[in-house]
Amino acid sequence: MMKLFNTVNKALHFSVLILFLFGCESKQQTTSRVEELPYYEEATFTPKWFDSPAQLPADFHQVPAFALVNQLGDTITEKDMAGKIYVIDFFFTTCPGICPKLTGNMALVQEAFLEDDQVLLLSHSVTPDYDNVAVLKEYADVKGVVDGKWHMLTGDRDQIYNLGRNAYFVEEDLGLEKDPDDFIHTENMVLIDGNRHIRGIYNGLNKAAISQLMADIKTLEKSNIL
């Protein structure tokens, strides 16, 4: 009987240890990879490290000025993003493939930072001729978009495509010449700091990548470099 008791007791201790280790692993997945995030300035996303924003070269890549319209008909510009951390993606409302999942994962980011005024979300329509304000508003309501937190943007097609390709570098087919009429269709999300610098790129269809994105947002906030 005593031998049986010792065997059971050891099994219980082993089970507790396994649960503890799994718990530690889960916790690690919610923390950032580094204490400070790198900067990026071109489509290869080669990380650049600086101790402070003051060390960045004067010509270091920065998201340019823009003016687009959200689901409420309000004009959103780079000035609205000043001092804010924001996450961007590209989608279209009639997309039957990756966009619903992409938007669903963006909604997870919205939920995680819903009460955090420092964090905003921008989703750019790649079919702006169809996705007018009324269409975006209907889509936003269905998807649970919170006005003021998450801006679904439409406007000039050339401006949107220029932002996607030359400001956010969201496409993965590096080295290929792009015609202005070529369609943007990407699952990437990009993290931007309060000075409009790129700080990370993530697969918006991958839950682990979304968890890392959330952790990196918190790292940016802790760094006090917005």
Tens of pLDDT, residue by residue over 21-38, are: 334 434 444 555 668 999
What are the residues whose beta carbons fall under 8 Å from the beta carbon of 25, sequence distance 6 or more? none
Q: Taking the complete model, does pTM exceed 0.85, yes or no?
A: no
- Report which of 63, 64, 75 is spatially closest to residue 155, judged by C-alpha positions: 75
Q: What mean pLDDT is predicted for residues 186-199? A: 96
* Range list of β-strands (E), 46-197: 67-69, 75-77, 85-91, 119-125, 150-153, 188-192
Element counts in the chain: helices (H) and strands (E): 5, 7
Dihedral sign, CA of 43, 45, 46, 48? positive
What are the residues whose beta carbons fall under 8 Å from the beta carbon of 105, sequence distance 6 or more? 189, 204, 205, 207, 210
Q: Which tens digits make up the pLDDT trace of 96-150?
A: 989 999 999 999 999 999 999 999 999 999 999 999 999 999 999 999 999 999 9
Cα gap 142→185, rounded to integer Å: 22
8 A C-beta contact, residue 212 and residue 112: no
pLDDT for the residue 35: 82
Amino acid at 224: N
pLDDT for the residue 32: 52
8 A C-beta contact, residue 190 and residue 88: yes
Least confident span in 77-91, 98-112, 168-182, 199-213? 168-182
Q: Which tens digits make up the pLDDT trace of 171-183?
A: 875 555 555 566 6
Least confident span in 27-31, 62-66, 120-124, 204-208? 27-31
